[in-house]
Structure 1
Amino acid sequence: MLPVPDEELTLATAVHRRLREDILAGRLPPGSKLKLRDLTGCYGAGASPMREALSKLAAEGLAERLEHRGFRVSQAQPAQLAGLIRSRVLAEGAALHDAIQHGDAAWEEAVLLAEHRLNRLARSLHPARFLANPEWEACHQQFHQALLSACQAPALLAFCERLREEAGRYRALSNTRAYPDRDVAVEHAEIAQATIRREAGRACALLAQHYERTGRIVGTEMQAVRGNEPAHADGTAPRGP
């Protein structure tokens, strides 16, 4: 096999990053076909770096290779979501426990500041219906990262971050289920307070409940969508407008 030129590897890396972001953000829905001809035009890359990027996504579990038919975005299954939530609970619980053991005053201040910034923002940009606020989403990510930031196990933190990204893909599938019936501001405040009080058991339990509640909401939405939208003849889910 001939070696792949460096410029193609660089382009494949850039395209992989963009495709990955679009999948995790829900812009490329689960089950949607990843047609090489369409992708090369949309992402400005040739067939060779695009295939390299798609192969890497398949290795990561974000894409599926269809025999003789290219690729598609991996399906999102309720059972996979349940396993993901359980993994987050276990991994982030361990990371938070370690952070509480090793965190200093600066870490405490960072947690409180992140929670304060998040609490000041509206989760929805529309008062009557849910319209995601990108600034809230960014601060939400920063809050959860701040909680774990004093953990002394870099590999564990990297694993938690990978799980967080994958969970974001599932969250993007739900629309209004979590709003406005759920007071996430109270949940975040309780987690933050238990954390800075060094109440490791309570903080980890609250974090677990936070993720499990999200899992139930998103899982319910996924089941509703799967029940209301028939699959195409090739087994892929219908795409949104």
Structure 2
Amino acid sequence: MSFAPTSPNGSPDTQATAVYRRLRSDILEGRLAPGLRLKVQELAGHYGAGPAPLREALAQLAAEGLARRIEQRGFRVADADPAGFAGLIRSRCLAEALALRESIARGDAAWEDALAAAERRLARLPRSTDPARFVSNPAWESAHRAFHHALIAACEAPPLLAFCDRLREEADRYRALANAVAYPGRDVAAEHAAIAEAALDRDADRAAALLSEHLAATGEFVRVALEKRHASQRGGRRAEAAPQPRA
């Protein structure tokens, strides 16, 4: 994979910013798995950036909690911790339900039109590009982010919106681990339609409750996926530690 700097001089600062964005996207979308060792030399070949910009980008990701620094051994992708995810889902339920209530109270006709359009756009897109198994559809993911943002966009509290966006991004990293578990049994489109309908009816209590249920349902699928992942990892470690039979 080639790397093209965004400015003519290709300065280290520009490279660090660009490779940071690509690494961050790969972590959030699950292409770099939780706990994966981030080896600078391997990353340099993959992203086409030098060691210095890469280390700067990794340090920034560590400051955000998306990577962790290993003493004298570089970096790893942050682990997918079930307890941490439970707190993240609770935070999303509290913050987004409040933002949605404010959005319903303050939203005008333009907000209604934007929300209705976002829900219709999302409903028209397949969640998976393969009906037989889950293969992430980038167009659906983009429309999904736009829908959840449209729900709370009229709350008139930019710091709250930014906080909700950050929580959603962090949750998406976990959700990427659970999509195969949730698909195709869960009717996510019906959940989105019900939330939008309640919001457009200006029924704040029902809309907030449905949104919280929607987020909690995602959380349950992620919990199951994380438990399976941790059980598999424990099994692998036990197999490695087991004494080998003599030849």
3-state secondary structure, aligned to 1:107: helix
CA distance in 2, matches of 1:190, 1:175: 21
Task: Name the counterpart of 1:209.
Answer: 213
Q: Which runs of 4+ in 1 moved over 3 A?
A: none
Answer with 85-94 or 114-123: which moved more.
114-123
Q: Which has the higher helix share?
A: 2
**One-letter identity of the residue aligned with 2:66:** L
Task: Name the counterpart of 1:76.
Answer: 80
* 1:5-20 alignment, distance < 5 Å: 7-20=11-24
- 1:83-109 deviations in Å (ceiling 9; x for gaps): 111111111111111111110011111
Q: Kindly indicate whether residue 135 of structure 2 is the aligned counterpart of residue 131 of structure 1.
A: yes
TM-score in terms of structure 2 length = 0.88
3-state secondary structure, aligned to 1:71: strand
* 1:3-152 alignment, distance < 5 Å: 7-152=11-156
Task: Name the counterpart of 2:173.
Answer: 169
User: Greater RCO between the two (CA within 8 Å, min separation 6)?
Assistant: 1
Give how far 1:231 is off.
4.6
Give how far 1:232 is off.
9.7
CA distance in 2, matches of 1:14, 1:231: 36
Structure 2: state its 5+ residue gaps.
1-9, 240-247
- 1:2-59 deviations in Å (ceiling 9; x for gaps): xxxx932222111111111111111110111111111122222222221111111111
Give how far 1:175 is off.
3.9
Task: Name the counterpart of 1:155.
Answer: 159
3-state secondary structure, aligned to 2:160: helix
Answer with 39-48 or 56-65: which moved more.
39-48
CA distance in 2, matches of 1:132, 1:100: 31
Q: Kindly indicate whether residue 192 of structure 2 is the aligned counterpart of residue 188 of structure 1.
A: yes
TM-score in terms of structure 1 length = 0.90
- Sort the Cα spacing of 1:92 and 1:201 in 2 relative to 1 into closer, same or farther, 3 A: same
Give how far 1:156 is off.
0.6
User: What is the RMSD of the two structures over their aligned residues, measured on CA atoms?
Assistant: 1.7
CA distance in 1, matches of 2:165, 2:85: 16
Structure 1: state its 5+ residue gaps.
1-5, 234-241
CA distance in 2, matches of 1:226, 1:145: 32
CA distance in 2, matches of 1:98, 1:137: 25
Q: How many residues were matched structurally?
A: 228
CA distance in 1, matches of 2:149, 2:117: 12
